[in-house]
Amino acid sequence: MDRKLGNTGAGLRGTISMLALAITLLLAFAFSAACGGRTQSPDNGQSAGQSLELVLAELEAMPVPADADPDSFEELRRELARVLREAWPQRSAARAPGRFAFPYAELNFEEQDSLAYLRWNCYFTADYDMNGEVGISDLTPLGTFLGRDDSLPGFPFWVDGDNNGIISLADITPIGTNFGCSVFNYSVQGTHTPGDADSWQTLDIISRSQREGASLKYQLPDPCGGMQYRIVPLAFDNEESVALYPGNGIIDIIEDVEVVQTGSITGTVVSGVDQSPLLATVTLEGQDPVQTGLDGRFSFSGLEPAARLAIQVSADGFRDNTAVYAVVAGTTREQRIEMLMRAPGQAVDAAAGGFVLGTAQSSLQIPAGSLVDSLGQPLSGNVNVQFSYLDPTDEAQMDAAPGDFCARQLDDSIAMLESFGMVEVFIDDGIGGQANLTPGSAAPVSFPIQPEQQADAPDTMPLYSFDEATGMWVEEAVLTKDPGGKSYSGELSHFSQWNADQPLITTCIEVLVLDNAQNEVEGALVEVVGVDYTGRSSSYTDADGIAHIPCRIDSTVQINASYGENIGGGEFQTPTTVMNCNDSEHGTSIGSITLDGTINYAPKAALSASAYGGAAPLSVQFDASGTTDRNDDIVLYEMDFDGLSGPLDWQVVSAESISHVYTTSGHFLPILRVTDSGGLESTVTILICVQ
């Protein structure tokens, strides 16, 4: 069973959850039973150390089961006596165990409520009454079901000792052959080196008395990658009750670790006014927030591939922004994030409420007594309301708009948007958070309709709020065009970022990006900006250098492609065909874009280990020699050997013969990071499980 290790920031540093996968193994096991002389069984008083005469006397005194035919049961009694007389001379406490079949073993590996379990049944051959031991009492169910076959529903297959589909006189033989054999407990064992017979460790002993119906379940306390598990049946005294025929193997599950190539994202946070770098806080769920330096740069490494990853950015005096990245294995995604300054604050009495006028005749009304702080407590006195409007016809402002204009509508469908204006409401609550409206309150708002859009503006307009966690706009309300057709009016139910948008009728275009040597460029950012509409969208090129991007049908668009500092672009016409960008609809090719200059391609990290698990202290030799770079200019190899919570502890290493000793037990997530001469990075992560 393959278990793939996913590494979002939370997965990289947090708890490893078991993959939700059930594997059912229907095996035909051949066992050797430890059926020699022993002390009295705790269940039924029988003893395999009894003399033949006492056993036959017990057999003769056994009453006929209520549901059995007396004549047929008498025949079974005589047949069992005959088999016992034949088998008894070969029995002794010191003899090698006799062979018996165990055809009903069914083992499951399953997950419930994020916990991993082994589940197996408690049937074994000739234990027809399922009391854990083969003895005289097993004649009762045999007599009760005598003559039944598997053509009937509810066939008691555990009584079919010879496994021929009919319960008959022949099923006496397994009782006589395996008389005294017992399975009362099960040893759950594990190892990282199944080829070493001495490496198996007992994890727990499970009693048959814990069974649910006819099955037992065991929760794996800390399932490890590279681990093999087995179930070994035990007699009532916890001696091994069965041994296996060579080649059949013991019940086991093998967890193979698969090395997962991770990706990185980097970016530069700049002012949308003059493109100067900003000191900003950059937040990604599951990762520690990072602060940009004087150059405005930030980066996150060891990320699981993802189609959408929302990065939140905040800077003093600037409107919050969110960039949407795609993370691709082995590559570094880079993006420039522009920030717009917030509007100057306007004082409003929280108790009395007030009117706030924004740019371009945008406006907001704060209802009386409607404000609460970030802890939900009512605000009083003057508050500083920063009401910022974004002009959808201003390209520079649109470059700093949050998200990628992807939206979730009221019917839960996904749409691309054409903006008719955005606003942000920010009120500092004085205790380090943001003030907001009390539940049930509503703040009237007015969006101006820009002259260029007035002719196409519909009478009503959907209103969307921004979800920073997903980087998507979410439809919540509707705006109505005011008399005169120069503005929209509506109400805000909370303070955040809001967008007046018209869903686009979209098509899907296919764009090929090439370098100046006409080679395909993987990982290039391709942005589509409407020329005759105000929407925009973006995507990244795949391994074939192709990006598939949704945009408005029958429209003129400006397409800009970039890879690092290398750029290219042009103006194109979109198809008239309505189409989605998905697995079945790949889009219509509209041509190619060639990037300028010589491209520095990101490296692709690769890592292997001499061992993925074992007992502490565990010495592991790592090998990064499989790492590649199209420019052949890798300058730095670094590793963090545990990948646990807290800042990553990067250590400079070589490409080969990287050694580390794990001295404590637990899950470890070593990360390799490689960097080229241009500063581009690639990461890869594997799982090491130490016992």
Q: d(Cα 580, Cα 508) in Å, to the nearest integer?
A: 6
Cα separation, 310 vs 330, in Å, equals 19
Q: CB of 257 within 8 A of CB of 612?
A: yes
Give, in order, the Cα–Cα distances in Å from 304 to each of 114, 231, 266, 541, 664: 20, 34, 15, 18, 26
- Taking the CB of residue 240, how many other CB atoms lie within 10 A of it? 14
Q: What was the pLDDT predicted at 401?
A: 94
Residues 6 or more apart from 379 whose CB is under 8 A from it?
Answer: 350, 371, 372, 373, 429, 435
Q: How far is CA 482 from the centre of its chain?
A: 48
Whether residue 76 contacts residue 143, with contact meaning beta carbons closer than 8 Å, is answered with yes
Contact 571, 556 (CB under 8 A): yes
Running DSSP on this structure, what letter comes out for residue 19? Answer: P
Q: Model confidence over 34-44: pLDDT tens digits? A: 344 333 333 33
Read off the amino acid at residue 71. D
Task: Find the mean pLDDT for residues 586-598.
Answer: 92
Token pair 């690639």: residue: 682
Q: Report in angstroms the alpha-carbon separations of 268 from 71, 298, 473, 523, 677.
A: 91, 7, 23, 17, 18
- Give the pLDDT score at 287: 85
Please give the share of the chain, as a percent, with pLDDT higher than 90: 45
* Sequence-ordered list of residues with C-beta below 8 angstroms from that of 61, at least 6 positions apart, any chain: none
Cα distance between residue 557 and residue 528, in whole Å: 6
Report the pLDDT value the prediction gives residue 348, as an integer from 0 to 100.
97
DSSP label at residue 46: -
262-306, pLDDT tens digit by residue? 778 889 999 998 999 999 999 998 788 999 999 999 988 778 888
Is the pTM higher than 0.75? no
What share of the chain in percent tops pLDDT 70?
83
The residue assigned the tokens 């602060």 is: 291
The model's pLDDT over 457-495, given as tens digits with 9 standing for 90+, comes to 999 999 999 999 999 999 999 999 999 999 999 999 999
How many angstroms from the chain centroid is the CA of residue 521? Answer: 29
Instruction: Quote the CA–CA distance of 272 and 342 in Å, as a whole number.
Output: 12
Please give the Cα distance from 511 to 277 (Å, whole number): 31
In the chain, the domains with their CATH numbers are 2-257 (no CATH), 266-339 (2.60.40.1120), 349-503 (2.60.220), 506-594 (2.60.40.1120), 608-690 (2.60.40.10)
For all residues of the chain together, what is the average pLDDT?
81
- What are the backbone dihedrals phi and psi of residue 225, each rounded to the nearest 5 degrees, phi first? -70, 145
pLDDT band per the 50, 70, 90 thresholds, residue 595: very high
